[in-house]
Homo-oligomer: A and B are copies of this chain.
Amino acid sequence: MKEECGIFGIYSSRGLGVAEEVYLGLSALQHRGQESCGIAVSNDGKFSFKREGGTVLDVFDEESLSELGNGQIAVGHVRYDPFGRGGRESAQPLVLKYAHGSLAVCNNGALTNRYELRAELERDAAIFQTDTDAELIAYIIARERIRSGSIETAMANAMDKLQGAYSVLIMSPHKLIAARDPLGIRPLSLGKIGGSWVVASETCAFDTIGAEFVRDIEPGEVIMLNHEGLHSIKAKKAAKSALCIFEYVYFSRPDSVLMGQSVHLARRLAGKILAQEHPIEADLVCGVPDSGIDAALGYAEESGIPYGIGLVKNEFIGRVFIQDTQQKRERLVSIKLNALSAAVKGKRIVLVDDSIVRGTTCTRIVGLLREAGAKEVHVRISSPPFVHPCFFGTDIKSKESLMANRLPHDGLCKALGADTLGYLSVAGIRSIAPQAQTGFCDACFTGEYPIEVPEEIPFDKYSHKIKVSGGKS
């Protein structure tokens, strides 16, 4: 399972090294998307940019950062496209010119009314060069700007049209604008370093560059940063905010703090509740690296069963090539993970992970532990089963593709080869973030969407027509 994007922006009063700060900030957000990335810089209103398929380290180096040059403002983006549309052609920031000069736009989220917006714009002869929501948002802003006195007002007004999840950064020649949808579905935080303001999807990016956290951008808030400082517009607040609960379970880095809640502590708490809900007698609690480690620690704390390392990850394996055979996927797991026989032999193991998607990986891991001599393997999952599609940018495509849906609980346990299987309850997941000053969206578990959603995820109307082969693959 993969989240779609991370964004990072900086407004610097001194204007030195903004591209490098964005580069470092994006590298801290790399877990949010490895498909493509980009940085745009405004130097006294002149824009330069680079965007490309690949990770931040693949795409940027000393030379390309130096070509971006110095500037006062910069924005950047890392992307995973949940709908599989290719690398470079949908890389952001989207850089464009319109009636009032230049803009660079980055987005994290997914609009639920993209079809309607697109159709409306096309009726007015708009042309679209990408499949991104960023391009839709740019068009809406360009239209609003004509009737509004400033780009930040245009963004605030655009909120009446945009539905769904969006955390947006907009760079104009002399301003940096950040906005978050009224539900606050995706995170966005404000920080400060020296005399410069920074905005990032997660606070871990602030730690990486040495910035201090100031506050979260509020759901429905637009902030504008320029040489006079920070201006906030409370554009449009929903009755109840709805941060994606999966940001705590999986997407965000454990060292981030979202809306006041430490991600690490939320995961540990999930593990503790899981231990209360699904206790078992065992000798060792192990987490699946790296996604299950924090919850495993919590499970061990609560249960009193010792925490240990049962699986070792090969940290050098990225895109390993192996012959395409029936056993390929299974073999891939063995190449990336190895069971630690010396630790698990003859032991009853509690194996903790954050979720089950297709189930093949989990099945293979249970097998590895058994081959290494584990006597029992009890699988514990620190979130409830996915049973509803996500319309807000998470790659959970449909009910059919979710293994948890296809099998009854016993059948699933058997298919995994586990002795017992326990999921965190919905009540449990709703308790993992007690310090978060926000409501949650947990629709993927409950079907209770915070706003009306369309019947189908609006991702294939256009993309089936264009197969992009551009980009270095």
User: Which residues of A are interface residues toward B (Cβ below 8 A)?
Assistant: 17, 20, 23-24, 27-28, 30-31, 34, 45-52, 55-57, 59-65, 67-69, 94-99, 101-103, 122-129, 135, 138-139, 142-143, 145-146, 173, 204, 207-208, 210, 253-255, 257, 262, 264-265, 290, 293-294, 297, 301, 306-309, 312, 314-323, 331, 334-335, 338-343, 462, 464-470, 472-473
Contact = CB atoms under 8 A, between A and B. Distances in A.
A254 B309 contact: yes
B319 A470 contact: no
A97 B294 CA distance: 45
B466 A24 contact: no
B342 A49 contact: no
B467 A46 contact: yes
A122 B98 contact: yes
Given A316-B55, A321-B62, A473-B67, A97 B128 contact: yes
B127 A142 contact: yes
Given A306-B301, A312-B255, A470-B49, A125 B146 contact: yes
9 contacts: A24-B335, A30-B314, A49-B470, A56-B316, A62-B321, A97-B462, A255-B340, A262-B341, A264-B343
Contact of A293 (B45, B309, B331, B473): B309
A69 to B, nearest CB: 8
A143 to B, nearest CB: 4
A317 B24 CA distance: 10
Nearest to A462: B97
**Copies of this protein chain in the complex:** 4
Nearest to A327: B210
Given A97-B127, A255-B340, A464 B321 contact: no
B309 A264 contact: yes
Contacts of A465: 45-47, 97, 101-102, 173
Nearest to A314: B28
B63 A473 contact: yes
Given A98-B125, A125-B139, A314-B208, A335 B146 contact: no
Interface of A is mostly: mixed
Contacts of A331: 210
Contact of A98 (B52, B65, B126, B343): B126
B57 A318 contact: yes
B265 A290 contact: no
A50 B97 CA distance: 24
A253 B312 contact: yes
Nearest to A59: B473
A343 to B, nearest CB: 6
B97 A466 contact: yes
A46 B464 contact: yes
Contacts of A255: 312, 338-342
Most chain B Cβ neighbours within 10 Å, of A57, A99, A145, A321: A321
Contacts of A470: 49-52
B99 A466 contact: no
B315 A27 contact: no
A70 to B, nearest CB: 12
A27 B342 contact: no
Nearest to A145: B125
Contact of A27 (B50, B204, B317): B317
B101 A208 contact: no
A20 B316 contact: no
Contacts of A123: 99, 146
A123 to B, nearest CB: 6
B52 A473 contact: yes
